[in-house]
Amino acid sequence: MENLKMIESNLLTQELSSYDPYDIWKTDVGMYIRKLFYKNKYIGLFPAGLLTIFDYYVNNKRRFFYNKQEFPITRAQTALIMINLYNLTQSIEYLKDAKKHIDWLIENYSIGYSGYCWGLNFPWVYSADETYDANIPFSTHTPYPLEAFIEYYKLTKDERLLDPIKSVFKFIEYDLQVMEESENHLIISYGAEKDRIVTNANSYIMYMYAMLLPFFPDKKEYIEKKIQKLYNFLTAVQNDNGSWLYSPYEGNSFIDCFHSCFVVKNIYKTNQIVDLESAPAIVGKGYDYILHNFLDEDEFLFNRFALSNKPSLVKFDLYDNAEMLNLAVLMKDKNIINKLDKAIKKTFIKKHTIYSTIDLFGFRKNANHLRWAVVPYLYALSKLEK
């Protein structure tokens, strides 16, 4: 009942716009400093540090110069939450609320691509010379609306969703770019351009293909081959200790908690649809790595990095712990579920406010930021209730 009240008080609203931890980096100054940091981290580190301090300790509550905004991934996860609550209670009001978010996603997608697809909804600097524009869709964001559409369709048989669902296949096939391919391996881009090789992105693409299988019975063999080749890439770049680098072919990559959870989750969920050889062992190895390399036993919270490539003021992030809670629910790990659930509530929630970050000094920061990471946390709670 406590979880249900928390979900309803945060999500049963007319809109889901919110501030975001990336607000400072969406400004013109923030984007310029990020480019400077990528060009030369020694020159860019000081101004980047100043902006971070300003965002954390001067502007964290007031949010001057920032604007609340809607995020497709937030709408999609909220739809999935409402579907979970409908399945739990059979209350038609939850299904009506899910429809509201489904409708929003149908109206608000990335324009100019082969199929329905979604991205961040704000520009993002990802290297010294390259910036994703606000419209560009991503392999890591599109799976959430796709899953919401499919789950809603299963319940309602709303045929207007069939075209958007099937069109995502065209997005994967024609807009995402093949970075490398051989007889046995396939690596696909992060966004709808030939950009970079990211481990969790390919795990999401694999899962999208798996979700789409029932909608393309005539392409079963073709899709399963794609899934297998993507899976082969993921297993090939898993380290001996069970970890995955965020970007396996970059010399200055990192290993963090929530992206690691994504990879394990997507392999687990894909294997429920398509039989992947040795998937339980791969999943178990990845899960064990997370447990033994991120968990702070004293606080019973999961740290941000096992391998970092830049300094940070973050001690604990709700996103890491929300995704770990979600993964523990999938894995049916009751010990982790019970202890982590209590630790999150104790640490990140004060009265009716959910904070996304605990800084190095133990202060709560980033109140009620839905995308990062209130909604991922509430999604985990909805699965926990179910």
Domain count, the chain: 1
Helix, strand, coil share (%) of the chain residues, nearest 5: 55, 10, 30
In the prediction, which pLDDT does 13 show?
Answer: 79
Amino acid occupying residue 179: M
Please report whether residue 42 resides in a domain.
Answer: no
With respect to residue 46, please indicate whether it lies within any of the assigned structural domains: no
Would residue 41 count as lying in a domain?
no
* Host H or E run for residue 353: strand 353-359
Taken as a whole, the chain contains a residue count of: 386
CATH number at residue 280: 1.50.10.10
Q: What is the arithmetic mean of pLDDT over 330-358?
A: 97
Q: Is 40 domain-assigned? A: no
Q: What is the pLDDT of residues 208-263, one digit of tens each?
A: 999 999 999 999 999 999 999 999 999 999 999 999 999 999 989 999 999 999 99
Q: Is residue 38 part of a domain?
A: no
Range of the domain at 184: 2-20+69-385
pLDDT value of residue 2? 85
Flag whether 279 is in a domain: yes
Quick: pLDDT tens for 144-194: 999 999 999 999 999 999 999 999 999 999 999 999 999 999 999 999 999
Better-predicted residue by pLDDT, 176 or 15: 176
Query: Does 284 have pLDDT greater than 90?
Result: yes
CB atoms within 10 A of CB 277: 11
In a domain, 84, yes or no: yes
Per the CB < 8 A criterion, the answer to whether 155 and 83 are in contact is: yes
Query: pLDDT tens, 311-339?
Result: 999 999 999 999 999 999 999 999 999 99
Paired residues of 295 in beta bridges: 302
* pTM > 0.75: yes
Average pLDDT (352-364) is: 97
Per-residue pLDDT of 24-49, as tens digits, reads: 999 999 999 999 999 999 999 999 99
31, part of any domain: no
What average pLDDT does the segment 65-92 reach?
97
